[in-house]
Structure formats: C-alpha cells, structure tokens
Structure 1
Amino acid sequence: MVNKELLIQEIESLPSELLNEAFDFIRFIKISHAKRQITDDYNSSLKTNAQQQAEKTLYPLHNTQPYRYENPTEPVALEDWEFLQ
C-alpha cells in the first residue's frame, strides 16, 4: 500500500502537461504485462503438449488394456501350438 500512496503523491505533484504522458505509460505497462502473461500461458501449454507427445513416444502402451494370461505356467499341448500346424 505504501507504493500506491507514493505513486499517488507523485501523480498529484506532476504538472498537468505530464499527466497524459504518465497515464499513457501506466496503460503501456498494463498492456505489456497482459501480453507477457498470455505469452507465458501459451508457452506453458506448448510445453505440456510437448511433454505429452514425449510420453506417448516413450511409453506407447501407457493407458492401454493389459494382456491377461490365465495359468501362464500350465503346460501347452502340441495341438495348441498354431505355428506347428
């Protein structure tokens, strides 16, 4: 709050011909900050998408249905081997 009070004191002490220039500068600062925020948000969303693509490349089976083997140690008869037929 101290900064705001100091800023108000400075504005009140400005000559009237400089008030428009001070107003323009304050608006410039606000617009510049808003643009920077939008750019930062966009860049962070790009990083998120890039990270998602990297994860898909590194882990292609992530979130897929796992195979289920029932009795995986049970012996298999020769008739069950498809490649022998």
Structure 2
Amino acid sequence: MPDANIRIPEEARDRLAAIASGEGLSLRAYLARLAETLLTPQERAERAEKARAALAEWNGYAPTATEQRELDSELDRRLSKVTGR
C-alpha cells in the first residue's frame, strides 16, 4: 500500500507521535490503527439506523420527527445547563 503525506500542525504531529509511542507504536502504525477504528459519517448513520430499528422492534419506540426535535432540544438544554454554555 502506498504511503500518503498529510500536512498537520507540528503540535498535532508531536502529540500524536507521543500517544503512539506511549502505546508502543510508530506514528504511521498508530494512524493506520486509528483509521480502522473510527467510523465514517455514513457508517455512523447506518449504525444509528440499525439501532433505531432494533429499538423499535424491541419495545416499539419510534418517535416522530417532531418528538425527536423536542427530545434533541431537551438534551441540548440539559447539556448546556451542565456545561454552562
């Protein structure tokens, strides 16, 4: 597999290199492993849809779009209260 060059700030590179070293890996190996463990936005959406379907099948939970917006707003309100934002 050919290598690719990615430009990032030195501070970010140094931090990632220190993390990789702490795990006994080269920066190259650490980034390759990291890429394999993270989900793309499409993969996250697919996984979320499967989870919603499983929840609906299990207990019938299926909020409408309006209910979902209200739940999201309530969660945002609670998070902002906790974080002070």
Instruction: State whether TM-score is above 0.5.
Output: no
Name the TM-score, length of structure 2 as normaliser. Answer: 0.30
Q: What TM-score, normalized by structure 1, do the two folds share?
A: 0.30
- Larger CA Rg, structure 1 vs 2: 1
